[in-house]
Structure 1
Amino acid sequence: MSLVSRFFVAAICRWLQLSAVLWTVSGTLLGADESSAKSPVYLYCSVADARLIQVLSFDSQTGKVAKSSSLGTPGEPAALTSSADGRYLFASMRDTGRLCSFRIDSATGGLTLLSDVAAGADPAQITLDRSGQYLFAAYYEAAKVSVHRVGADGRLSDAALQEIATAEKAHAIVPDPTNRLVFVPHTGPNRIYQFRFEELVGRLLPGIPPYLQRPEQTGPRHLAWHPRLPFAYVDNEQGNSVTVYALRGSSLVPGQTSSTLPDDFRGQNATA
C-alpha cells in the first residue's frame, strides 16, 4: 500500500472510532481505476477487538466513505495484503498465530473465507511476493519468517514451505522490486535481515551478510521502496527517524537519516 493510502486508512479508522485499536488496523485500497470514476474502490480495515474485517466503499466522485459489509475472523486480524488483481485478500491473526485468505466479490467487495492455517506466534506482518505465488510472514514473538504457497484459487498451503529463525520482534517483510531479495526489519535487536529469494521454488536463502546491524535504540520497523529508484526507506521506531538505504548488490547500504521530530521536541515519542 502506498504511503498516501496508509494515511487515508488511519483517517478513516479514526472516523469509525477505532483509534483504540489503531495499531492493529491495516487496510488496502482495491479496485481503484483513476481513468474511470465508476470503478469501485473498497477499503479493508482490521478491527481486532471485534474480530472482524470491515469493508468500506469509497465514492471517488464525492469522497464519501460508507460501511459496506464485514466478516468475522478466526482471531484478531492485523496485517492485510491483497493480490495484484484484487481477487484475494490475506490477513494475519496475531492472537491465534494463524494466516487466512479470502475471496473478494468483484461486485460488492464482500469477503468469503478460503483458508485458515496455523503459522506461529504473533505474525505481525504479511506480504505477497511480486509474482503473487507466495505469502511471506514475519513473526514478532516466534522470531522467525515463513513462506506459504498461494494456490491459483487463493488458498494458502496448509504447511509453510519454509520457516527460518531470525530474532525477536520481526516487524515487516518486504521483497525488493526485482523479487530476488527480501528484507526483514527487527525492532528488538536493531537489525534488518537480508535474504535472497528463489521464486521458482519459493525458497529464502541467507543474504551476504545475513543481516545489517543498526545502532542501539534505532528499532527498524517498516520498509518501503522508492517507486522507480533503487532506494528503500526504513521507519525507525525508537530512533524517531527515517533512514534511506541504497541497494548495492544484494545488500542495503545506509545513507541519510532524518528525524521525524522538530528540533525543539523534548517529549516521548515512537514512530510506530
Structure 2
Amino acid sequence: MPDVLYVGLQEDDKIASFGIDAGSGKLVPSGETPAAGAPSVFALNPDRRVLHVGYRGAPAIESWRIDPASGVLTSLGRVATEHWPTYLATDRAGKYLLSAHYQGGYAAVHPLGRDGAVSGPALDRQNTAPGAHAILTDPSNRFAFVPHIARQNDNVLEPPKNIPGPNFIAQFRFDAATGRLSANAPFKLDPPGPIGPRHYCFHPTLDLVYFSDEQGCSVTAYRVDRASGTLSVVATTPSLPAGVTVRNTCSQIYLTPSGRFLYVGNRGHNSIAGFTVDPATGRLTPAGHAATEAVPTAFGLDSSGMFLFSAGTATGRLASYRVDSKTGALAPLDIHAVGRRPAAVLAVPLSR
C-alpha cells in the first residue's frame, strides 16, 4: 500500500501532502490543506483513519478524517486547549488522545468519539512541571511517561538562555477503561545527569524504551518493569560524533518497525544520528550521521522503515533518505521546498 506524507507548516497555516513511491521513496506533491493556528504536532489513530493536529498559535486540537484512497483530509472538528499541545498520541486502543503541554506544565487526556475524532474537553489533567514534552502509553496500555527537559526555551539559533528546566521523567499509571492518569510510585525519575529527556519510543519486542536527551545530546535507554510500569536506566549513548562541540540539542527519536535501527535528530549539528540495535539486548551502536536541513526538529519514517524524511525548521525544506537495510546508514535522495517552518512530519499508509 502507498504512503502519504503530511508536513505541518507552522508559519503557513497549512498541511502539505506528498505521495511516497514505495520503490524509490520519491515524493510527489499531492495537495495542501488550510489549517489555521500554526499546525505543530501530529498523531495518528491506530486504525490510520484519523489524523490529529495540535496548534501552537491558537491552542487547539483538531481531528481530520483521512480519505483511504487519496489521503485528502476532511476536518471532523476542533477543540480549544488552555495551552498549546507540544505532543499528541492516542492510547493503544484508540479511545483517548493524550497530550503534553510544555508551557502549561501538564498532561491531559481527551476522549475520542466513534468516528475517532476528539469529542469534547479534556477528561483528565495532571500537573507536572513546565517543559513537559511528550506522552505515550506503553505497549500494555497501562503506563505512560512525561519527560521534562533540563533547559527551557533552548533555541539553537540563539545563545543559551540558561533557564533551568525540571529535568525528570514523570511516571504514570493509565486506566484504559476510564482514560485517567494517576501518579506511579515513584512519580519522578531523575535521568543520569542534566540531560533533558525530550521524546521517546518503545522497542517492539524488548522491555526497553529509548529517550532523546535534548540537552545531553544523547539517547538514554531505560528498562521498563512490566509489573510496576517504572523505569530504570540502562545506558546513555552520545548522538554527536566524538570531539564535536557545536551548540546542539536533540529533537525527535524513532525506531524502524523492525526495531533494528534507531534515529535521533541533532539540531545545531544538523544531522540525523543513526544507531544499530542489538536484537537480544537492545544495546545501541553508532551507525553514522547523515547531514540534513538546518534545525531538524521534525522527521519521520515511512511505514516500511525504508525511507526517512527530515524537515529543516530553519530552511523550509524536506530532505529524504533511503535506509540501508543491512547497516541502517542513510543515503540522501531528494530535497523539496515545502514552506515556512515545517514542524511536524508523519507518513501514513493508505488502505486502498
**When the two structures are superposed, what TM-score results if normalisation uses the length of structure 1?**
0.83
Partner of 1:18: none
1:133 matched to 2:95: yes
Gapped runs of 5+ residues in structure 2?
150-164, 252-352
Partner of 1:66: 28
Partner of 1:250: 229
Structure 1 Cα separation of the partners of residues 67 and 247 of structure 2: 44
Higher relative contact order (CA 8 A, sep 6+): 2
Structure 1's consecutive aligned runs of 4 or more residues displaced over 3 angstroms after TM superposition are: none
1:153 matched to 2:153: no
Shift of residue 152, structure 1, vs aligned partner = 1.1
Shift of residue 106, structure 1, vs aligned partner = 1.1
**Preserved CA contact (<8 Å) 1:102 1:154:** no
Structure 2 Cα separation of the partners of residues 218 and 125 of structure 1: 19
1:85 counterpart letter in structure 2:
D
Shift of residue 63, structure 1, vs aligned partner = 2.7
* 1:176-195 equivalences in 2 (<5 Å): 176-187=138-149, 188-195=165-172
- Relative to total residues, which structure has the larger strand share, 1 or 2? 2
Structure 2 Cα separation of the partners of residues 217 and 62 of structure 1: 41
Shift of residue 86, structure 1, vs aligned partner = 1.6
2:250 counterpart letter in structure 1:
T
Q: Which residue, out of 197, 200, 204, partners 1:220?
A: 197
Q: Report percent identity of matched pairs.
A: 38
* 1:157-168 equivalences in 2 (<5 Å): 157-168=119-130
Partner of 1:204: 181
SS at structure 1 position matched to 2:115: coil
Query: Cα deviations across residues 10-30 of structure 1 (Å, max 9, x unaligned)?
Result: xxxxxxxxxxxxxxxxxxxxx
Paired residues, number: 234
Query: Cα deviations across residues 84-113 of structure 1 (Å, max 9, x unaligned)?
Result: 222110010022110010001112100011
2:208 counterpart letter in structure 1:
F
- Relative to total residues, which structure has the larger helix share, 1 or 2? 1
Partner of 1:4: none
2:233 counterpart letter in structure 1:
P
CA RMSD of aligned residues (A): 1.2
Structure 2 Cα separation of the partners of residues 210 and 89 of structure 1: 31
**When the two structures are superposed, what TM-score results if normalisation uses the length of structure 2?**
0.65
SS at structure 1 position matched to 2:86: strand
2:48 counterpart letter in structure 1:
G
Partner of 1:51: 13
1:97 matched to 2:59: yes
**Preserved CA contact (<8 Å) 1:190 1:215:** no
Shift of residue 216, structure 1, vs aligned partner = 4.9
2:240 counterpart letter in structure 1:
L
1:266 matched to 2:228: no
